[in-house]
C-alpha cells in the first residue's frame, strides 16, 4: 500500500474532492443541508464517482463523509443514521482505493457549531472523535480535515486525528476577507497546524484558482511540510474572491452560490494552468474541490506530469473533421473551418 508522505517525497500528488456538489448536480443529494445521505441511498453513485476521479488521476479516494457529522445529521433529524452513513462511506471508498492501489482518506470538516472561547469545544471534539474512530477502524491511510475557517476548530480536528495515530492533511477555507475567522492569516494558521503535527497543510474549497493562487507563496514560505491547494473550479475575481461572493450579471446580480455557479465554471485548461503555477510555487498536493468534474482532475494530473488512464482520451484536435490536419481530413472541410 502506498504511504502519503512517501508518495509526496517522490512526486506531487492529486486529490479529487467535490463529492457534495457533484452528487447534488447528478440529482442524488439535496442542496441546502448538503448531507451525504447518497452513500446509503445510492452507494453505486458514490462508488462510480470515486472510480471516475481515480480514472482521471486522483491518487486519493476520499471517503464521502463530508458534512456527515453529528451536527449536520441533527439538523435534518437523522442522527440515527450517523454511524451507518460513516461506516458505509468508508467501506465504499476503501473498496475502490484497495482495488485501484490508491490512498484511502477519511474526512472530517467544519462542524458549524464551533465558537472561539471553548464553549462548544466538547461537542466539536466528540464529533471529530467519533468520525476519526470509524475512519481508523476502516483502515484509512490518513485523514483530511478540511474547509475550516476557524484555525482553532482545525486544531481540535487535528488533535483527534493525531490521537488516533494517523497522518493529517489540514486545509483551510479562506472566505472573501482573505483571513481566518480567528484573525490569523492563512500562513499563520498553516504554521500552527504544522506545529501541531499536521503532515500536510494548505487551502481547499471556497476560492477559485485566480484568488487562491496569491495565497500560496506565503504559506509555502511559512511552513516546511508539503503544501496543499485544492481550489473550486470557478472564476472568482479580486472583487468577488470566493464562490459565495460571485454574482451573476445575467441574473440581475443574484448570488450564484450554490446552485447557479455554472456560468462561472473554469475550463479544464484553467485548472491545468493553476496546477502548473502552484507546482512552480512548491505546492505538492494538488486537487480540485466543489464543482470539480473528472475533466478538471485529469487536467491537474496531466499538468503535474502524470498520465492517468483517462489520458487515453485526452483531446487530439488534429483528428477533428474540420479543425484537424490528420491524413484523411478532407481539404474542403479544412478550408470550411473558419466558417464554423
Can you give the binding site for Zn ion, defined by CB under 5 A?
205, 289-290
Cβ atoms 145, 125 nearer than 8 A? no
**Min CB(264)–Zn ion separation in Å:** 14
Shortest reach from residue 242's CB to Zn ion, in Å: 11
Q: Which is nearer to Zn ion, 62 or 194 (CB)?
A: 62
- The radius of gyration of the chain from alpha carbons, rounded to an integer in Å, stands at 20
Q: For residue 190, which phi and psi values (nearest 5 degrees)? A: -65, -40
Strand-pairing partners, residue 204, are 230
Residue 243 grid coordinates: 464562490
Cell numbers at residue 49, please?
464517482
Of residues 102 and 110, the one with the C-beta less far from Zn ion: 110
Nearer to Zn ion, 222 or 230 (CB): 230
Q: Which residue has the cell 467535490?
A: 18
* Cα separation, 162 vs 183, whole angstroms: 25
Q: How far is the CB of 216 from Zn ion (least distance, A)?
A: 17
Give me the least distance between CB of 287 and Zn ion, in Å please: 10
> Given the complex with Zn ion, which of 156 and 232 has the nearer CB atom?
232
**Extended beta strands in 23-128, E state:** 60-62, 103-109
User: In angstroms, what is the minimal distance from the CB of 296 to Zn ion?
Assistant: 12
Using CA atoms of 232, 109, 101, 37 in order, give the dihedral in degrees to the nearest 10.
-90
Of the two residues 39 and 290, which places its CB atom closer to Zn ion in the complex? 290
- Find the farthest-apart pair of alpha carbons in the chain and give their distance in angstroms, rounded: 74
Amino acid at each position: 500500500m502506498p504511504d502519503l508522505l512517501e508518495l509526496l517525497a517522490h512526486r506531487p500528488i492529486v486529490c479529487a474532492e467535490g463529492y457534495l456538489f457533484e452528487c447534488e448536480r447528478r440529482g442524488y443529494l439535496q442542496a441546502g443541508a448538503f448531507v451525504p445521505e447518497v452513500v446509503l441511498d445510492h452507494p453505486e453513485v458514490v462508488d462510480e464517482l470515486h472510480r471516475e476521479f481515480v480514472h482521471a488521476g486522483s491518487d486519493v479516494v476520499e471517503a464521502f463523509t463530508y458534512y456527515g457529522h453529528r451536527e449536520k445529521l441533527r439538523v435534518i433529524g437523522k442522527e440515527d443514521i450517523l454511524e451507518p452513513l460513516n461506516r458505509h462511506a468508508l467501506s465504499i471508498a476503501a473498496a475502490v482505493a484497495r482495488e485501484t492501489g490508491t490512498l484511502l482518506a477519511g474526512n472530517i470538516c467544519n462542524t458549524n457549531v464551533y465558537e472561539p472561547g471553548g464553549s462548544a469545544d466538547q461537542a466539536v471534539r466528540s464529533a471529530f472523535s467519533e468520525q476519526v474512530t470509524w475512519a481508523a477502524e476502516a483502515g484509512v491511510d490518513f485523514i483530511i480535515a478540511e474547509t475550516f475557517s476557524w484555525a482553532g476548530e482545525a486544531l481540535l480536528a487535528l488533535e483527534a486525528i493525531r490521537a488516533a495515530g494517523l497522518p493529517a492533511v489540514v486545509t483551510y477555507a479562506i472566505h472573501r476577507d482573505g483571513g481566518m475567522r480567528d484573525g490569523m492569516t492563512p500562513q499563520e494558521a498553516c504554521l500552527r497546524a504544522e506545529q501541531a503535527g499536521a503532515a500536510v497543510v494548505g487551502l481547499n474549497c471556497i476560492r477559485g484558482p485566480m484568488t487562491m493562487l496569491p495565497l500560496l507563496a506565503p504559506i509555502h514560505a511559512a511552513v516546511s511540510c508539503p503544501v496543499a491547494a485544492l481550489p473550486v473550479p470557478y472564476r472568482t475575481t479580486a472583487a468577488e474572491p470566493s464562490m459565495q461572493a460571485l454574482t451573476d450579471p445575467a441574473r440581475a446580480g443574484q448570488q450564484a452560490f450554490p446552485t447557479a455557479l455554472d456560468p462561472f465554471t473554469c475550463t479544464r485548461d484553467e485548472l491545468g494552468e493553476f496546477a502548473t503555477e502552484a507546482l512552480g510555487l512548491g505546492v505538492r498536493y494538488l486537487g480540485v474541490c466543489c464543482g470539480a468534474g473528472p475533466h478538471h482532475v485529469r487536467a491537474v494530473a496531466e499538468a503535474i506530469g502524470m498520465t492517468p488512464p483517462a489520458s487515453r482520451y485526452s483531446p487530439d484536435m488534429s483528428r477533428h473533421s474540420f479543425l484537424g490536419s490528420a491524413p484523411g481530413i478532407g481539404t474542403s472541410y479544412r478550408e470550411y473551418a473558419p466558417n464554423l
